[in-house]
Amino acid sequence: MEIINITDEYVDTYCKCLEDWSEEMRESGTLKKEWYQKKRQQGLRVKLAKNENNEIVGMIHYVPIEKAPVSGKDLYYIYCIWVHGYKRGVGDNRGKGIGKQLLKAAEDDVKELGASGIAAWGITLPFFMRSKWFKKNGYIRADKDGMTELVWKAFNEKAEPPKLMKRQKRPEAGNDKVKVTCFRNGWCPGQNIACERMKRAVTEYGDKIEYVEVDTDNRDNLEEWGISDAIFINDKQINTGPTPSYKKLQKLLTKNVKKRLI
C-alpha cells in the first residue's frame, strides 16, 4: 500500500468519494469539484491510498481549520477519512489498516507544515467517522453536540482545543408557502446529492413551495447560521444521513403541502 498526494489523474475519483462506479454519485453535480478547486487555493490537502494494482482504495482530506466549518486556530481539520467498503468497484478494503496509514500520513504532513495540531469530527454511533476510532488513535474530545463529537490531537504546548460551531438560528416557516432551505458546504457528495434531489423535487409543486439555498462555504453565511450541511422543510430539519431517496423527499414535501392547504 502506498500513500500518495492527489494528482490531476485522480481528482474525479476523489470528487466521487472513490465510487466511480456509482450512478448515484453522478447526481451530486459539479459542486464537489468546484469546492475542491476553491479549497485547494486555501490549503486543502488530499492524500490517497493506492494498492499494488494502482487502484485508489482510500482517501483523507484536511484543511487549515480557519477555512473549515468549525472554530479554531493553528490546526488542521479533517473533513473525512474514507476507505472504500463496497463490493463493487475496487472492492471492500476495510480491516487492512489503510485508515490508520492515511491518518498517520496526514498527521506527519501537518507536523511538517508547522501546525499545532489536527482535529476531526466524529459520531458516537458505530458508523462512518466514528469518534471512538479516532480516540483509539490518540485523539481526545474537544467539544460535543448531540451524537457529534469534535476530537483533536495536539502537537505542541501552544495548541488550543477547537470548538464546534453553535447553531445561531434556524429557518422560519413560510407564510403562504412551504419553505425549503438547503444549507450546503460542498465538501460532501452525499449532502450534495440530497440537495440536488430536493431542488428537483420542489419543481413538481410549482408555486406551493419556496426553495432557498445557502452556501455555507461562504464564511459569513456559516457564522450567521452556525449550520454547515442541512435541509429544512419550514423550520424542521430533516434527516439527510444516509442520503434520502428522491421518493422519500417527495413524500415529505407532499405531506407538508397538504398540511398547508388544510
Domain boundaries, the chain: 2-164, 178-261
Q: What is residue 127's predicted lDDT score, i.e. its pLDDT?
A: 78
Question: How close are the terminal C-alpha atoms of the chain, in Å?
Answer: 60
Q: Please determine whether the domains at 2-164 and 178-261 fall in the same fold group of CATH.
A: no
CATH 2.40.420.20 fits 178-261, yes or no: no
Cα(159)–Cα(84) distance, integer angstroms: 32
Q: What is residue 126's predicted lDDT score, i.e. its pLDDT?
A: 81
Q: What distances in angstroms separate CA 35 from CA 30, 186, 211, 218, 231, one per listed residue? A: 9, 6, 22, 11, 19
CATH topology classification for 2-164: Aminopeptidase (3.40.630)
Q: 175-225, pLDDT tens digit by residue? A: 889 999 999 999 999 999 999 999 999 999 999 999 999 999 999 999 999
> Model's pTM, two decimal places?
0.94
pLDDT-flagged residues of the chain (< 70): 261-262
